[in-house]
A = this chain, B = another copy of it.
Amino acid sequence: MSQLPTVGHLIGGKIITTGERAQDVFNPATGKAEKRVLLAPKATVEEAIANAQAAFPAWRNTPPLKRARVMGNLKVLLEKHADELCALITAEHGKVLSDALGELQRGIENVEYASYAPELLKGEHSKNVGPAIDSWSEFQALGVTAGITPFNFPAMVPLWMWPMAVACGNTFILKPSERDPSSTLRVAELALEAGLPPGVLNVVNGDKEAVDTLLTDPRVKAVSFVGSTPIAEYIYAEGCKHGKRVQALGGAKNHAVVMPDADVANAVSALMGAAYGSCGERCMAIPLVVAVGDATADAVIEGLKAEIAKMKVGPGTAPGMDMGPLVTKPHFEKVKGYVDQGVKEGATLVVDGRGLKVAGHEEGYYLGPCLFDNVKPGMVIYQEEIFGPVLGVVRVKTLQEAMDMIDAHEYGNGTCIFTRDGEAARYFTDNILVGMVGVNVPLPVPVAYHSFGGWKRSLFGDLHAYGPDAVRFYTKRKTITQRWPSAGVREGAVFSFPSTK
């Protein structure tokens, strides 16, 4: 076991591969441990914080344009190393390579947006707020900031956070998921290559000990988190208790409403990717379809069945695969348990993926696509976030019924409506209590120049992730009010000044 390659930390510009605690990193396509990842003790995290603190003064004084250019360079490097990064993602997360590339591409878009920093950091300047008094605001960096990220997007979610944080002049400690840490770390190395000074971005792998150090250390000024709702809630309460600003993104259970006037073929095609892409391990996945009218429901289910029948499931590295394995053995068991539970609760299992065997990969964590009909609020498979390839169809009579159901759900991350009707779309988008809404777009993940965030228990905090909100999250305003008394320089008394030169 000890011969496995070690995934370490990046602190002060150096890779650190020694440490007392470590755990295995598995390839979900094969079920084999292929690496070990260090778990940082408190002292190691504090060392990272100290490095970040030391790097801060020079970095915050670096002109924004220069900081932005490092992001421009990084973008070029990420494109150049895309194959390498996707291979790392797939080897540890399991998603198919094309999906890994999609993730990376979205991450690159955030790097691009961070490269707009000179524009984004403009303050507001007011002349004559009073007679001969001017006032302006600046967006100043916070100091050391931190991010804690989940396994499902090891490349993208970290890139939601630290590029904007450092483009704003902060330094950063990233604690990625310990299940698939390699691509995250590799991206950080490329950032150094792109010109980021040592200490500006630090990566520590770890578990709760590392997290709690970041939450309590007074040198850390802000924490961004993406993960499950219970942890998000803990992070928010704990970080705030220690006086920090915190944005904590949690779970989701996104409903797609299909209206009777929708283009069903188009909707089905969109739903397939949204439900089963990346095994449903996405906070913007669609695990629930709400069909308005039985005719709509029947048509949607027919369409889905036909499409599911064509799906190819196998190792993410194999050509032509639509879906790879789940991320870990325990997660596989958990998702499978949800399917069992749904059957017990009385939902109709239209397609059962539980028996899937992938030849030559019998130890991989593969679960075939599952489709339930007649899912109902109150069922566990309706209420909880499954994070697996399990799609449920709920039947309702009206749009209003669909909307009441969505609004009553604990989560409010994403949702979408399939319709051709302007009025239905406007009513839905205006009123639904969900932060990201699609109209005929199944995964309404905002582009990098807008911000990402759910409502209700899907996000704790007041500023969303990436985009314009991130600029405010990673800076604090300083407002200056200025008046100049006469020193006689202007009026001519200045001729007595020479002695001071």
Q: Which residues of A contact B (CB under 8 A)?
A: 61-65, 68-69, 72, 75-76, 109, 112-113, 115-116, 118-138, 222, 233, 236-237, 240-241, 243, 245-246, 259-261, 263-264, 266, 292-293, 295, 397-400, 419-430, 434-441, 444-453, 455, 457, 460-464, 468-469, 472-473, 476-492, 494-501
Contact = CB atoms under 8 A, between A and B. Distances in A.
The 10 closest A-B pairs by CB, nearest first: A240-B240, A423-B484, A245-B462, A421-B489, A420-B487, A123-B125, A444-B481, A439-B482, A422-B484, A125-B125
A128 B132 CA distance: 24
Given A123-B125, A487-B423, A436 B236 contact: no
30 contacts: A62-B128, A76-B76, A118-B447, A123-B125, A124-B124, A127-B430, A237-B237, A245-B462, A259-B494, A260-B495, A260-B498, A263-B487, A263-B501, A293-B494, A398-B490, A398-B492, A420-B487, A421-B489, A421-B490, A423-B484, A423-B485, A424-B487, A434-B478, A435-B477, A440-B485, A455-B476, A455-B478, A462-B472, A487-B500, A497-B500
Nearest to A73: B76
B468 A124 contact: yes
A122 B112 contact: no
A163 to B, nearest CB: 15
Given A126-B122, A497-B500, A457 B243 contact: yes
Given A129-B63, A245-B462, A457-B243, A422 B439 contact: yes
A200 B455 CA distance: 22
A251 to B, nearest CB: 14
B261 A478 contact: no
B500 A477 contact: no
A452 B476 CA distance: 11
Nearest to A299: B501
B426 A479 contact: no
Given A118-B449, A463-B472, A440 B497 contact: no
A61 to B, nearest CB: 7
B135 A450 contact: yes
A171 to B, nearest CB: 16
A444 B260 contact: no
Residue from A240, A428, A440, A480 having most chain B Cβ neighbours under 10 A: A480
Residue from A61, A126, A468, A487 having most chain B Cβ neighbours under 10 A: A126
Contacts of A424: 487, 489-490
Contacts of A457: 243
A240 B243 contact: no
A489 B440 contact: no
B499 A499 contact: yes
Given A127-B138, A421-B421, A120 B119 contact: yes
A484 B119 contact: no
A439 B61 contact: no
Residue from A127, A419, A448 having most chain B Cβ neighbours under 10 A: A127
Nearest to A436: B479
Given A69-B112, A261-B487, 13 more contacts: A122-B124, A127-B138, A136-B136, A237-B241, A240-B460, A261-B494, A295-B495, A421-B422, A423-B487, A436-B481, A445-B481, A451-B479, A499-B500
A462 B421 CA distance: 35
Nearest to A67: B128
B451 A477 contact: yes
Contact of A447 (B135, B485, B487, B489): B135
